[in-house]
Chain A
Amino acid sequence: MMKARPITRYTTLGLFGLLVCGLGIMFTGFDLSGVLAAEYAPAPKLTAADYPTIAGVNSRVAVWIFAQLHLWFAAFVLAVPIFVFIIEVIGMRTRDKRYDDMAYEFIKVAITAYSLTAILGGALLFSLILFYPHLFNYLAVIFSESMFYYALLFFAESAVLYIYYYGWHWLQGGFRKWVHLTLGLTLNAVGTTLMLLANAWLTFMMSPAGVDGAGVFSGDAWAAIHNFLWNPINIHRFVANIAYGGSIVGAYAAFKFLTAGSKEARAHYDWMGYNANFIAICALLPLPFAGYYLAAEIYAYSQQMGITLMGGIFAWLFIIQAVLIGTLFLSANYYLWCGMGRSDGAKRYTKYIKYIAIVLVGAFLVWFTPHTLVLSNAELKALGGPHHKILGPLGIMPAKNTAVNVMIIFTALSFMFYRRANKIATVNWVNAGNAFQVALFTAGIINIMFLGIYHGYFTNTVYKVAASIPQVLTTVVVIVGSITLDSFIYKNAREVAPLHWGRIPGRAQYALFLLAVAFTWLMGLMGYIRSGIRQHWHVVDIMRDNSTEAFTPTLGYAANVVSVAAIIFMAMVIFVFWIAQVSSNKTLPAGYWKA
């Protein structure tokens, strides 16, 4: 073991050095661009003849589907190493082998998905070059350096990932484990950098920077990368990817749970599913805030894009989005409630579930109530117009913000009940602690309601938008405060009985499937909207899309394309699950090979 140390040390140092050099060259390279800058051409003015027709394929749909499939897989393979790394650290600290095994199993699922990500990325690249050569050429001139380093980083990503995965059992114990963890960290650093670079290209198309009104590149690549919407997208995608990755591995655990042949396997995959759901919920809770920030920034960048996004042509897709987000919350809560069956002490808390459900469903109904109601003529006449005096005010953002904060707080409450279900507190101030928690929740909810109603409906718009920040802070204070207090109340707590892992109904596993499917569809629809708000522009206000497919498709058509892509993706994911299972199957009869 000692002999291997220098080798692993050098390997790690070498890879880390490679990464640092790569990043260094990349960022210093941008500074050199002023020297390199030659005469840049303005954005080309295209005609329909500039878009090749190949084999009768609909160019937009081809690029759309490849981009979407690539993005789903990319989100998954970028997210899994993040929580695999965290789980591995937990395993190392607690010296509980189950965590290490689970982390390994998660990365095993991701490794097949990784090659699919690369294949689909290649397909996207080819389809862009073939169907939209002028657009790709224009972007490639501006982002030449970042595209080049992107390709190099992909090598680094592959190298680190393969060593991380195939070296899992080799790099165990003592210093070797530290080396492995360093590889995990490096993998995440490279993966996140890749995402940030790709985000820059797409946000440039929405909020171009570093170019003049005619699209002439100034030569400052950093300005083009650091455009107005880059960071809002970066934050939103980073958080959403973790939630998405959690939901997909949750679906994997559910799949394995339902097909498990033994009690031990059911217990293992139940535990794995619980952890995956936990990861998904942890990332899901801040996600609406990240999304709100992104939408607010889009609105701030362009009122036109903002209104198109949420009030205009895409508004009805936002209602579907609201429904799917609500579905995520309901599924995650249902899974937690079903999971309380693992504990013999849960009966103390299950009586509260119906009240949590009432609040969640009530908040959910507010969350998806549309501002523009679909009315029959008779209803229109009965109301005296399209405005509904009660439901109308629920259709705008202050009501939505209030509803989602309440949903988040009650999801956290479900989680707290789940954690408490199997424990009995031993501290003598338990009643005072509980009373304080009740007070915290009550005060928090009153504050959120007050901010939503008063600032939402009785003040200037700028305060309406600003009120969302104290609402979020209230939610954060309630959740962090109560969970922190809970950890003190239940310090040295007695367990009612050992948890019965595996004692959970099969339908709870379908809640995990629903979580993954809802996330996938949601990402597809929202991705389409994000891209669609550019409308007839390749690069907003700079490079017009003059292809025959430049029109904004009908909502039904767009939803169908996204749904078909989601079905293809799900089929590929099932393949990934199956292949991960096949690799551990041994079906060869004894005596086949010569002794």
Chain B
Amino acid sequence: MKIPRLLQAVLVLAGVYFGFVLVFDVILDAVIPSSLLAMYMFFVVAGVFMVFTYDEDQTRELVAPIKAMVEDPSKRMWRNIVFVIVPLAAGGGTYLQMQPSFEAPVELRTIHPAPPSTAKIYGKRVNLLKLENPFRKIEKTDPEQFRALVNEGAGIYIENCQFCHGDKLDGKGPYADGLNPTPLNFQDIGTIAQLQESYLFWRITTGGPGLPKEAAPWISSMPVWQNFLEEEEVWKVILFLYDYTGHEPRSWGHE
């Protein structure tokens, strides 16, 4: 038996929708955000519409049941049922969307603050465009000393940073659950792997209060580490962050 095209289209859409939910929420155990799923489904509907309507005959076949329901006198009962159910469903959906709840509204947060070209750090004006990690050059010239610096950085990290950012640098430290926004996950390919070391230096030393005014409020609880750590200590921590995660700091030259 041939499945009517309208039903085919509905089945495809339902299949894709539940496929997303099944794959992400059940199999991968990584829930798909409802806002993203809504965007995905909008364009899946567009794609299904395109495939089902590019041909004139197939389009007629697709809309035939809808036309028949609206125009065919013998389908009066169905028409009345549909004409009641559809507005009720729309009204119910709107009610559910709009009813007040205790849930905090979702935020369009920007989590990539743009660095200023210069910043005042440790009492001096620093040009962030040219700033480099003073220990980075040792990586090739003196690997042994470099390793020692990384280890020092690791010690400083464990003493100061792991409570929030985690001992695996994955943003899951013991205090992480109490923070919103949650601490940054340095293992993520989209965080320090995309950035120059000067950017990290700026973020660590000036913390939440040093974030730029645009795209505020940042509501970051990152401390101003220049008040607690020495400049060299910060650079050593940065060496450790890249070393442990295996990421390379962003640079403009091939090495």
Residues of chain A whose beta carbon lies under 8 Å from any beta carbon of chain B: 300, 302-308, 311-313, 315-316, 323, 326, 330, 333-334, 337-338, 340-341, 350, 353-354, 357-358, 360-361, 364-365, 368-380, 382-393, 395-396, 457, 459-463, 466, 505, 507, 535, 541, 552, 555
Are B171 and A461 interface neighbours, CB within 8 A? no
Distance in Å from the Cβ of A266 to the closest Cβ of chain B?
14
Choose one: B30, B50, B109, B249; the contact of A383 (CB below 8 Å).
B30
B77 located at the interface, meaning its Cβ lies under 8 Å from any Cβ of chain A in the complex: no
Given A303-B196, A377-B103, A462-B250, are A361 and B44 also a contact pair (CB < 8 Å)?
Answer: yes
Q: Which residues of A contact B176 (CB under 8 A)?
A: 385
Q: Which residues of A contact B24 (CB under 8 A)?
A: 390
Choose one: A316, A333, A373; the contact of B50 (CB below 8 Å).
A333
Alpha-carbon distance between A58 and B47 when the two chains are bound, in angstroms: 42
Are B112 and A462 interface neighbours, CB within 8 A? no
Interface 9-mer from B90-98, B144-152, B186-194: B186-194
Are B199 and A341 interface neighbours, CB within 8 A? no
CB closest residue in chain B, given A503: B56
B35 located at the interface, meaning its Cβ lies under 8 Å from any Cβ of chain A in the complex: yes
Alpha-carbon distance between A505 and B106 when the two chains are bound, in angstroms: 42
B215 located at the interface, meaning its Cβ lies under 8 Å from any Cβ of chain A in the complex: yes
Q: What are 19 A-B contacts defined by CB distance under 8 Å?
A: A304-B116, A307-B113, A311-B110, A312-B214, A312-B215, A330-B43, A357-B50, A372-B111, A372-B112, A375-B35, A379-B34, A385-B172, A385-B176, A387-B188, A392-B190, A462-B251, A466-B254, A505-B59, A507-B53
Distance in Å from the Cβ of A396 to the closest Cβ of chain B?
5
Binary per-residue interface labels of chain B (111-122) against chain A in the complex, 1 for a CB within 8 Å, 0 otherwise: 111111100000
Within 8 A of A (CB), among B7-54: 24, 28, 30-36, 39-40, 43-44, 46-47, 50-51, 53-54
Are A461 and B194 interface neighbours, CB within 8 A? yes
Alpha-carbon distance between A376 and B32 when the two chains are bound, in angstroms: 11
B255 located at the interface, meaning its Cβ lies under 8 Å from any Cβ of chain A in the complex: yes
Alpha-carbon distance between A330 and B42 when the two chains are bound, in angstroms: 13
Given A379-B33, A505-B56, are A457 and B189 also a contact pair (CB < 8 Å)?
Answer: yes
Distance in Å from the Cβ of A309 to the closest Cβ of chain B?
8
Interface 9-mer from B135-143, B177-185, B230-238: B177-185
Are B112 and A307 interface neighbours, CB within 8 A? yes
B108 located at the interface, meaning its Cβ lies under 8 Å from any Cβ of chain A in the complex: yes
CB closest residue in chain B, given A466: B254
Choose one: B55, B171, B185; the contact of A341 (CB below 8 Å).
B55
Are B31 and A303 interface neighbours, CB within 8 A? no
Are A382 and B31 interface neighbours, CB within 8 A? yes
Shortest Cβ-Cβ A-B pairs, 10 listed? A311-B112, A361-B47, A460-B248, A337-B54, A308-B114, A461-B250, A385-B182, A307-B114, A374-B35, A313-B215
Residues of chain B whose beta carbon lies under 8 Å from any beta carbon of chain A: 24, 28, 30-36, 39-40, 43-44, 46-47, 50-51, 53-56, 59, 103-104, 106-117, 128-129, 171-172, 176, 180-183, 185, 188-190, 193-194, 196, 199, 214-215, 248-255
Are B36 and A391 interface neighbours, CB within 8 A? yes
Q: Which residues of B contact A350 (CB under 8 A)?
A: 54-55
Choose one: B55, B113, B171, B250; the contact of A385 (CB below 8 Å).
B171
Are A302 and B111 interface neighbours, CB within 8 A? no
Are A383 and B31 interface neighbours, CB within 8 A? yes
Distance in Å from the Cβ of A389 to the closest Cβ of chain B?
5
Alpha-carbon distance between A546 and B177 when the two chains are bound, in angstroms: 42
Q: Which residues of B contact A368 (CB under 8 A)?
A: 39
Distance in Å from the Cβ of A512 to the closest Cβ of chain B?
14
Q: Which residues of A contact B110 (CB under 8 A)?
A: 311-313, 315-316, 372
Are B51 and A353 interface neighbours, CB within 8 A? yes
Q: Which residues of B contact A390 (CB under 8 A)?
A: 24, 28, 30
Q: Which residues of B contact A466 (CB under 8 A)?
A: 254
Given A313-B214, A338-B54, A373-B33, are A395 and B190 also a contact pair (CB < 8 Å)?
Answer: yes
CB closest residue in chain B, given A305: B114
Are B32 and A391 interface neighbours, CB within 8 A? yes
Given A304-B114, A312-B110, A361-B44, are A373 and B55 also a contact pair (CB < 8 Å)?
Answer: no
Are B28 and A461 interface neighbours, CB within 8 A? no
CB closest residue in chain A, given B58: A350
Q: Which residues of B contact A313 (CB under 8 A)?
A: 110, 114, 214-215
Given A316-B108, A373-B35, A385-B176, are A364 and B43 also a contact pair (CB < 8 Å)?
Answer: yes
CB closest residue in chain B, given A376: B106
CB closest residue in chain B, given A361: B47
- Interface-centre pick from B40, B114, B194, B251 (highest chain A CB count, 10 A): B114
- Interface-centre pick from B35, B116, B188, B196 (highest chain A CB count, 10 A): B188
Distance in Å from the Cβ of A360 to the closest Cβ of chain B?
7
Q: Which residues of B contact A392 (CB under 8 A)?
A: 188-190
Are B117 and A340 interface neighbours, CB within 8 A? no
Q: Which residues of B contact A374 (CB under 8 A)?
A: 33, 35-36, 106-108
Choose one: B28, B55, B194, B214; the contact of A396 (CB below 8 Å).
B194
Alpha-carbon distance between A205 and B155 when the two chains are bound, in angstroms: 46
Distance in Å from the Cβ of A328 to the closest Cβ of chain B?
13
- Beyond A330-B47, A375-B33, 4 extra complex contacts between A and B, CB < 8 Å: A316-B110, A340-B54, A386-B111, A390-B24
Q: Which residues of B contact A337 (CB under 8 A)?
A: 50, 54
Q: Which residues of A contact B55 (CB under 8 A)?
A: 341, 350
Are B54 and A353 interface neighbours, CB within 8 A? yes
CB closest residue in chain B, given A370: B36
Are A365 and B43 interface neighbours, CB within 8 A? yes
Are A354 and B182 interface neighbours, CB within 8 A? no
Alpha-carbon distance between A386 and B219 when the two chains are bound, in angstroms: 14
Distance in Å from the Cβ of B160 to the closest Cβ of chain A?
20
Choose one: A369, A462, A535; the contact of B254 (CB below 8 Å).
A462
Given A371-B190, A390-B24, are A379 and B252 also a contact pair (CB < 8 Å)?
Answer: no
Q: Which residues of A contact B31 (CB under 8 A)?
A: 379, 382-383
Alpha-carbon distance between A173 and B188 when the two chains are bound, in angstroms: 66
Alpha-carbon distance between A459 and B172 when the two chains are bound, in angstroms: 25
CB closest residue in chain A, given B31: A382
Are B115 and A388 interface neighbours, CB within 8 A? no
Q: Which residues of B contact A391 (CB under 8 A)?
A: 30, 32-33, 36
Q: Which residues of B contact A370 (CB under 8 A)?
A: 36
Are A373 and B36 interface neighbours, CB within 8 A? yes
CB closest residue in chain A, given B182: A385
Given A361-B44, A390-B24, are A372 and B214 also a contact pair (CB < 8 Å)?
Answer: no
Q: Which residues of B contact A385 (CB under 8 A)?
A: 171-172, 176, 182-183, 185
Alpha-carbon distance between A260 and B55 when the two chains are bound, in angstroms: 22
Given A385-B176, A392-B190, are A375 and B250 also a contact pair (CB < 8 Å)?
Answer: no
Q: Which residues of B contact A364 (CB under 8 A)?
A: 43
Q: Which residues of B contact A360 (CB under 8 A)?
A: 47
- Interface-centre pick from A300, A391, A457 (highest chain B CB count, 10 A): A391
Q: Which residues of B contact A457 (CB under 8 A)?
A: 189
CB closest residue in chain B, given A333: B50
Alpha-carbon distance between A535 and B115 when the two chains are bound, in angstroms: 13
Alpha-carbon distance between A159 and B199 when the two chains are bound, in angstroms: 54
Are B59 and A375 interface neighbours, CB within 8 A? no
CB closest residue in chain B, given A396: B190
CB closest residue in chain A, given B198: A303
CB closest residue in chain A, given B176: A385
Alpha-carbon distance between A54 and B114 when the two chains are bound, in angstroms: 34
